[in-house]
Chains A and B, each alone.
Chain A
Amino acid sequence: MADDTVADIKRQSMTIIVTKGSLDWAYPPFILATTAAAMDYDVTLFFTFYGLALVKKKLDPKFTVLGNAAMEMPMFGTHIAMPNFLPMIPGVDAMAGAMMKSLIKKNNVASLEDLREAAVLSDVRMIACNMTVELFDYKREDLMDEIELGGAASYFEVAAKSHINMFI
C-alpha cells in the first residue's frame, strides 16, 4: 500500500459543476480545481447558472451578506454576525465585499484572478453551459477565450469517466 501511489496506477479525473458566482462561493471550485490539477488529476469545470459569472472575461464577483447566517466577519477584535436587514441599507453589500477582499489580501490568500489564471495554465477544461449562456443573454465574446460551450450531455460524458464529481 505504502509504495503503491495512486499516480502509478492510473491518471485520475475530477469534475465540478459550478453554479454560484459570488465572491465567496467563487473560491472553492477554483481552489479545488487548481489543487487537483497540481496533483495530476484531469479536471473539468462545468459552469452553469450564476457560475457563469466566473468565466466572464472581466472577473468581478459581487458579494452579499443576505441569508448568510453562518457568516461572521472578524471585526474589532471579535466576530460580528451580519443580520439580514443590513444588505437593505445601500452600500452595505459593497462595503462587506470590499472588507472580504481586504481580508483575503491581508491573509495572503490567492486572488480569484490568480487562481483562475492558474486553472487555465494547468489545463483545467472549462465548459460553459450553452443553455444558461443563452438564458442570461451572454455573448460568446463576453466569456473567456478558453471556454468551451456545451450542454448537460457534454458534462455527463466526462463525469461518467471521472473519479470525483462535485456540485458547488
Chain B
Amino acid sequence: MSEHVLDAKGLNCPLPILKAKKALKAVPAGEILTVYSTDPGSVADFAAFCNQTGNELVDSSQDGDVYVFQIKHTAG
C-alpha cells in the first residue's frame, strides 16, 4: 500500500488544512493521506474540511499529543 503522509505537527490553524489540501492533490483518487497534527482544533476542522470537500475521513484518532487523520481522496 502506498504511503502518503503529511506531517503538520507544530503548525497552527489554518496551516494543517491548507497543507492537507495541497498534499491531497498528489494523492491518486481512492488512496489515503495520513495527516499528523498537534493542533487540537484540527479534530473538528478536518471533519468539517472532509464534509465540505467530499473527501472521506476514514479515521480520526489521537496518539498522545498527536492527532492522526486518515483522509481518502475521493473528491475531484
Chain A interface residues (CB < 8 Å from chain B): 5-8, 31, 34-35, 38-40, 107-110, 118, 122
Q: Are A107 and B14 in contact (CB under 8 A)?
A: no
Other 20 A-B pairs with CB < 8 A, given A5-B53, A110-B11: A5-B51, A5-B52, A5-B54, A6-B51, A6-B52, A7-B52, A7-B54, A31-B13, A34-B18, A35-B14, A38-B21, A39-B52, A39-B53, A40-B53, A107-B12, A108-B10, A108-B12, A108-B15, A110-B12, A110-B15
Task: Report the minimum CB–CB distance from B56 to chain A (whole Å).
Answer: 9
Residue of A nearest to B39 (CB): A108
Q: B6 contacts the other chain (Cβ, under 8 Å)? A: no
Q: Are A35 and B54 in contact (CB under 8 A)?
A: no
Residue of A nearest to B20 (CB): A38
Can you name 5 A-B residue pairings with CB atoms under 8 Å?
A5-B53, A35-B18, A38-B17, A39-B17, A122-B21
**Cα separation A118 to B75 with both chains bound (whole Å):** 21
Residue of B nearest to A7 (CB): B54
Chain B interface residues (CB < 8 Å from chain A): 10-15, 17-18, 20-21, 48-49, 51-54, 75
Q: Are A38 and B14 in contact (CB under 8 A)?
A: yes
A40 surroundings in chain B (CB, below 8 A)? 52-53, 75
Q: Are A35 and B11 in contact (CB under 8 A)?
A: no
A38 surroundings in chain B (CB, below 8 A)? 14, 17-18, 20-21, 49
B21 surroundings in chain A (CB, below 8 A)? 38-39, 122
Residue of B nearest to A119 (CB): B18
Q: Are B54 and A108 in contact (CB under 8 A)?
A: no
**Cα separation A118 to B49 with both chains bound (whole Å):** 17
Q: Are B75 and A7 in contact (CB under 8 A)?
A: yes
Residue of A nearest to B74 (CB): A5
Residue of B nearest to A109 (CB): B12
Task: Report the minimum CB–CB distance from B76 to chain A (whole Å).
Answer: 9
Task: Report the minimum CB–CB distance from B71 to chain A (whole Å).
Answer: 13
Residue of B nearest to A118 (CB): B18
**Cα separation A35 to B52 with both chains bound (whole Å):** 11
